[in-house]
Structure 1
Amino acid sequence: MCLGAMFVCIPIGVLADAIGRKWTTLLTVIPFSIGWLAITFAQNTAMVLVGRFLTGMAGGSFCIVAPLYTSETAQTEIRGTLGAFFQLFITIGILYAQVLGFIFGVKLFCFACLAVPIAFGICYIFQPETPVYLMKKRNKEGTESAFKRLRGKDYDPSGEINSIRAELDRQEALKGEFWPQLKTPQGKKSSLICFMLMFYQQLSGINAVMFYSGAIFVDAGSTINPAYCTIIIGVVQVFATVFATWGVEKLGRKILLMLSDGAMAFSTFLMGIYFLLKEKKMVSDETITGLGWLPLLSLVIFIIAFSFGMGPIPWLASAELFPPAIMARMSSCAGMFNWFLAFLVTIGYAPVSNMAGAFTTFFIFTLVSASGVLFVLFVMPETKGKTFQEIQDELGH
Structure 2
Amino acid sequence: MGSCNGNVEENSRYCIFVILVTQLPFAFIMGIHLTALNSLTPVIEVFINESYQVRYRESPSEYTANLIINLAHSALVWGSLVGCVLVKLVINLFSRKGSILMTHCFMVLSSILMGPVAQYGHSYESLIIGRFINGIFRAVGFTVVVIFIAETTCRRRLGFYQGPFSTFQFISSAFGLGLAHSKVLGTQDLWMWTMCIPIFASVIYFVCYPWIPETPVYVLKKRKREDALNILKLLRSEPTVEKELTILENESEELPSQKDLPLMMLLKKRYLRRQLFTTMITMTTVQLLGIQAITMFSDSLLLSAGVDEGYVTIVSVGLFLQSIIAFLISAPLQRRFGTKKVYVIGLFVITISYMIFVIADGLHVKIPTMSYVAIFGLFAVFFGLQLGPLFVLSGLPSELTTAGSRPTVVFYSQCAYWILAGIIIFVFPYSHQAWGVYSYIPFVAISIILVPFSIFVLPETHNRSSAQIQKSFGMKTMALASKSDDCIETVPVLQLANDQMA
Say yes or no: TM over 0.5: yes
1:178 partnered with 2:261: yes
Q: Which has the higher contact order (CA 8 A, sep 6+)?
A: 1
Q: What letter corresponds to residue 242 of structure 2 in structure 1? A: S
Match of 1:274 in 2: 360
On the 8 A contact 2:294/2:301 being kept in 1, the answer is no
- Aligned-partner Cα distance in 2 for 1:115–1:212: 26
Q: What letter corresponds to residue 172 of structure 1 in structure 2? A: L
Match of 1:281 in 2: none
1:241 partnered with 2:327: yes
Match of 1:289 in 2: 368
Alignment counterpart, residue 416 of structure 2, candidates 332, 337, 352:
337
1:258 partnered with 2:344: yes
1:386 partnered with 2:464: yes
1:161 partnered with 2:236: no
Query: Kindly, what percent of the aligned residue pairs are identical?
Result: 18
How far residue 221 of structure 1 moved from its aligned partner, in angstroms, is 5.6
How far residue 32 of structure 1 moved from its aligned partner, in angstroms, is 0.1
How far residue 91 of structure 1 moved from its aligned partner, in angstroms, is 1.8
Match of 1:26 in 2: 101
Q: What letter corresponds to residue 108 of structure 2 in structure 1? A: S
How far residue 367 of structure 1 moved from its aligned partner, in angstroms, is 0.6
Matches within 5 A, 1:181-200: 181-182=265-266, 183-200=268-285
How far residue 259 of structure 1 moved from its aligned partner, in angstroms, is 1.6
Matches within 5 A, 1:1-397: 1-40=76-115, 41-42=117-118, 43-102=122-181, 103-104=184-185, 105-152=190-237, 155-169=239-253, 171-172=254-255, 177-179=260-262, 181-182=265-266, 183-210=268-295, 211-216=297-302, 219-220=305-306, 225-277=311-363, 285=365, 287-355=366-434, 357-396=435-474
How far residue 56 of structure 1 moved from its aligned partner, in angstroms, is 1.0
- Aligned-partner Cα distance in 1 for 2:141–2:399: 17
How far residue 11 of structure 1 moved from its aligned partner, in angstroms, is 2.2
Q: What letter corresponds to residue 365 of structure 1 in structure 2? A: F
- Aligned-partner Cα distance in 2 for 1:259–1:73: 28
Q: Determine which structure has the larger helix proportion and give its number.
A: 1
On the 8 A contact 2:358/2:374 being kept in 1, the answer is no
- Aligned-partner Cα distance in 1 for 2:423–2:84: 17
- Aligned-partner Cα distance in 1 for 2:202–2:193: 16
- Aligned-partner Cα distance in 2 for 1:20–1:304: 36
Aligned length: 387
On the 8 A contact 1:271/1:362 being kept in 2, the answer is no
Q: What letter corresponds to residue 387 of structure 1 in structure 2? A: S
> 1:175–1:222: structure 2 CA closer, same or farther, 3 Å change rule?
closer
Aligned-pair Cα RMSD in Å: 2.3
Q: Could you report, residue by residue, the CA deviation over 1:148-169 in whole angstroms, capped at 9, with x for unpaired residues?
A: 22125x7221010111123334
How far residue 29 of structure 1 moved from its aligned partner, in angstroms, is 0.9
> 1:318–1:44: structure 2 CA closer, same or farther, 3 Å change rule?
same
> 1:185–1:218: structure 2 CA closer, same or farther, 3 Å change rule?
closer
How far residue 115 of structure 1 moved from its aligned partner, in angstroms, is 1.7
SS at match of 2:388: helix
Structure 2 segments unaligned to the other structure (5+ residues)? 1-75, 476-502
On the 8 A contact 2:279/2:409 being kept in 1, the answer is no
How far residue 31 of structure 1 moved from its aligned partner, in angstroms, is 1.2
> 1:187–1:81: structure 2 CA closer, same or farther, 3 Å change rule?
same
- Aligned-partner Cα distance in 1 for 2:305–2:265: 52
- With normalisation by structure 2, the TM-score equals 0.72
- Aligned-partner Cα distance in 2 for 1:200–1:70: 21
How far residue 223 of structure 1 moved from its aligned partner, in angstroms, is 7.7
- Aligned-partner Cα distance in 2 for 1:157–1:263: 40
Structure 1 segments unaligned to the other structure (5+ residues)? 279-284
